[in-house]
Amino acid sequence: MADLALRVFHNIRATLPPMILLAGLTTAAVTGGPQAAADDGMDAYQAGLAAYDGGRYADAVRQWRTAARAGLAPAMTALAGLYHLGEGVGADMALALGWYRRAAEAGDVTAQLNLGELLADGSGVARDPMAAHHWLSLAARQGNAWAARRLARLEGTMTASQRKAARKIAENQAPVN
C-alpha cells in the first residue's frame, strides 16, 4: 500500500497532460468560456501541489477538488489518492475509487495503474481480475513499466481461459484519451 501511495504523488507532475479536456461545464466555463475553466483548473491544481508539498493536506483537497471538477485528470488522481490515504479528509474508498475511475477514463496513466492495482488486489473493492487487466493494460500501453510488470503478475494468477479472454479484450480496446 505504501508503494501505491508513493506512485500516486510521485507521478502526479509527470502525468500532467499537454492538453486539458473538460469533462463538463463549471462556473468558470459559464462566465469565461472553456479556456477560463481550464485555466482555473490548472491554477487550482498547481495550488494543490504547493499545499500538498507543504503538508497542508486539507488545502490540497480543496484545490484538487476544484481542479477535478473542472475536468483536470491529474487532479482527479491526486484527489483520489487523498481519499485513499485519508490525508486531509477521512479515508473513503468509495470516493477514491470514483475519482480514480473518472481519471482513468480520461486517460490518466497513474489512475489507470492505481485502479488496476486496487481491482487486482481487492483493496476497498471486490477483486476483479478482468477489470484489473483492462486498466493495467491501458496503463502499460501508455508505456508505464510498473503497470506492465503488475499486469504480468496478475496474469500469473489468472486461469488460462481468463488470460485468453482478457488478452482478447485488451487487443480490441481503444486507448482511453
> Which of these CATH numbers, 3.40.50.10800, 1.10.760.10, 3.30.465.10, 1.25.40.10, describes 2-172?
1.25.40.10
Regions of the chain where pLDDT drops below 70: 1-38, 174-177
The set of cell numbers assigned to 136 is 493495467
The phi, psi pair for 63, rounded to 5°, reads -65, -45
Q: What is the pLDDT of residue 177?
A: 57
Q: What is the pLDDT of residue 15?
A: 38
Nearest one of 4, 13, 16, 3 to 96, comparing CA atoms: 4
Contact 74, 12 (CB under 8 A): yes
| Cα 172 versus chain centre, distance | 22
Q: What is the pLDDT of residue 126?
A: 95
* Grid cell 500501453 in the structure block, residue: 141
Q: What is the pLDDT of residue 31?
A: 36
Q: What is the pLDDT of residue 40?
A: 79
Amino acid at 114: N
Q: What is the pLDDT of residue 171?
A: 85
Residue 113, SS3?
Answer: helix
Q: What is the pLDDT of residue 174?
A: 67
Q: What is the pLDDT of residue 2?
A: 37
